[in-house]
Structure 1
Amino acid sequence: MTDATSGSDQRHRSDPPGRPRLIIFDVNETLSDMAPMSARFEDVGAPAHLARLWFAELLRDGFALTASGDIESFAVLAAEALRVRWAGLDLDRPLEEAVDHVMQGFSELEVHPDVVDGVQALDDLGIRLVTLSNGSAGVADALLQGAGVRDRFERLLTVEDAGEWKPALRAYTYALAECGVESQEAMLVAVHPWDIDGARRAGLATAWIDRASGRYPAYFAVPDLTAGSLVELADALR
C-alpha cells in the first residue's frame, strides 16, 4: 500500500486520510472483472480487442451527454455503442441477437479475486459500504449476490437517480446525501482515475485500486491512497 502524496498542492492532501465512516465503491471494473466480455465479442464473430474500445466509447458518450446537460441509461448507451462499433462487421448472427448476447454478459460477470476478502475485511472494520455505479443497481446486485457479499453493502446506488453520470459533482453529492454523511467522512474507491478525480473535487477521500501496477495520469487529482487490491486497502485502513 502506498500513500499518493506527490504532485502540486492543488492535487493532494498533505496528510493521509483517516479511516472513513463510509466507503463508496465504483462497480464496473472496480468490483467486477470485465475480461469475459471479450469472449462475448468473439462468440458473435467480433474481434475480442474491440470490447475494451467499446466500453471506453460508451463511457465517453455518457460523459458527453452529462456535460451537455442530458443523461441516458448505461444499458441504452452500451447497446447502441455496440451497434455503432459493429457497423460493417460480418457477425455470425443478426445484429440484435449479437447485442443481446453481449449485454447479457453484464449480469453474469464475477468479482475480481480480491473483492470478497477485501469487502469482508473492510466491513469488519465497521466501515459502512455502498456502491455508486454509472450502471444499474440491478447489475451491482447480481454481481454481489453471486459473490456472496451482498449483505455487506448497505445501499446500491446508481447515477440514474442522481441525474448525472460520474464524474459530475451531483453524482457524488447525491450519494453523500442518501447516506447522510459529509464529504470528509467518505472515501471513493475505484480503478478509474477519472472517478478518483471527480470524487476528490467533490471533497471525498479517494483510494485508487491499481491491480495492474499502472501509471496514474498526471493531469488528474491524485488519490489519497493507492492499493493493489481491496485487501491491501483494508490493511492500510485497519
Structure 2
Amino acid sequence: MPAPVRLIVFDVNETLSDMSPLRARFEEVGTPGYLAETWFAGVLRDGLALTAAGGYASFQAVAEAGLRALLPGLDGWHGDLDHAVARILDGFGDLGVHPDIPDGMRQLHAAGLRLATLTNGSATTAERLLSRAGILDRFEAVLDVAAVRAWKPAAAAYRYATEWLSADPAETLQVAVHPWDIDGARRAGLQAAWLRRASPAYPHVMTAPTHTAQDLRELAGMLTS
C-alpha cells in the first residue's frame, strides 16, 4: 500500500497550462494552427534526447531552435522568421490554466497538503501562470530543472525537487498528463498521478501510475476523501 501523500509536485506545461491558444499564434504568423502540437512534441523530444545523451539546453533554447528548424521548411511560407519565433514564444506569457486547476488546488491546499511545481520550462513563466490564475500563494515552491541541468524524466530532476523540499520521495506525488513523466517519477521512487484529460489510454510499456483521474478536481477528491 502506498505511503500517505504529504507533498504533491505538479508538472506545468499541458498539465496545468492550457496550451491550445498557441494555435492562434501559429495562425497569426501564417502557418496552420495544428503545427503548435507538432512543434511542442518536437521540443519535448529534443530536450529529452539531449538529457538522455548527457547534454542540456534550456526549454527556451530548444523551443526557439525547433521553430527555426520548422518554419522555413513549410511549403509557401515566406514570413519574417525572427518575428514569427518571438510572436509564438511570447504566447506562453498569455496562457491560462485548465478550468479544473483552481478548484482542485484549493481543495488540496485546504486539506493541508504541500504543493510545488517542477517544470522542464521556466520557473518564472510558471510563477506568472499561477499568479494569473490566482493560486500562486498555494505553492511552497515553483521549481525548474535548470539547476540540475537534466530534463524530466531523468531521475536527477525528481531527486532535486524532493531534496530541495526536504521530502521523502515515497510520500511525494508527481502529477502530470505525460506518461513519460509518470514513468520517470515512479522509477525515481515517487508516487505518481496521471491526469487523463483527452488521452484514451496509458501506454502499457511504461510504469503504471499510482492514481489515475480525469482531471485535478477528480484527483483532489480521491486524495482528500
TM-score tier after normalising by the smaller chain length: over 0.9
Structure 1 residue corresponding to 2:13, chosen from 22, 28, 35: 28
| Residue 206, structure 1, aligned to residue 192, structure 2 | yes
Aligned counterpart, 2:28: 43
Aligned counterpart, 2:128: 142
Which whole-Å CA distance do the structure 2 matches of 1:19 and 1:45 have between them? Answer: 50
Aligned counterpart, 1:216: 202
Aligned counterpart, 1:186: 172
CA RMSD in angstroms, aligned pairs only: 1.1
Preserved CA contact (<8 Å) 1:172 1:199: yes
Aligned counterpart, 1:166: 152
Which whole-Å CA distance do the structure 2 matches of 1:234 and 1:91 have between them? Answer: 45
| 1:88 to partner: Cα distance | 2.9
| Residue 153, structure 1, aligned to residue 139, structure 2 | yes
Q: Secondary structure at the match of 1:130?
A: strand
Structure 1 gaps, min length 5 = 1-14
| Residue 101, structure 1, aligned to residue 81, structure 2 | no
TM-score (norm 2): 0.96
Structure 1 residue corresponding to 2:72, chosen from 87, 101, 123: 87
Which whole-Å CA distance do the structure 2 matches of 1:91 and 1:98 have between them? Answer: 11
Which whole-Å CA distance do the structure 2 matches of 1:50 and 1:80 have between them? Answer: 15
Which whole-Å CA distance do the structure 2 matches of 1:195 and 1:216 have between them? Answer: 12
> Deviations 1:27-76 (Å, cap 9, x if unpaired)?
00000000011111011001111110100101111011101111100001
The one-letter code matched in structure 2 to 1:121 is Q
The one-letter code matched in structure 2 to 1:68 is A
Structure 1 residue corresponding to 2:101, chosen from 95, 111, 115: 115
Q: Secondary structure at the match of 2:12?
A: coil
Give the aligned length. 223
Preserved CA contact (<8 Å) 1:197 1:222: yes
Which whole-Å CA distance do the structure 2 matches of 1:30 and 1:117 have between them? Answer: 15
Structure 1 residue corresponding to 2:213, chosen from 212, 215, 227: 227
| Residue 197, structure 1, aligned to residue 183, structure 2 | yes
TM-score (norm 1): 0.91
The one-letter code matched in structure 2 to 1:224 is T
| 1:91 to partner: Cα distance | 4.1
Which whole-Å CA distance do the structure 2 matches of 1:130 and 1:92 have between them? Answer: 42
Preserved CA contact (<8 Å) 2:72 2:81: no
Preserved CA contact (<8 Å) 1:18 1:237: no
Return the structure number with greater relative CO, CA threshold 8 A, min gap 6. 1
Aligned counterpart, 2:44: 59
Q: Secondary structure at the match of 2:89?
A: helix
Q: Secondary structure at the match of 2:146?
A: helix
Q: Secondary structure at the match of 1:161?
A: coil
The one-letter code matched in structure 2 to 1:47 is P
Which whole-Å CA distance do the structure 2 matches of 1:219 and 1:182 have between them? Answer: 26
The one-letter code matched in structure 2 to 1:32 is S
| Residue 78, structure 1, aligned to residue 63, structure 2 | yes
Preserved CA contact (<8 Å) 2:118 2:145: yes
The one-letter code matched in structure 1 to 2:11 is D
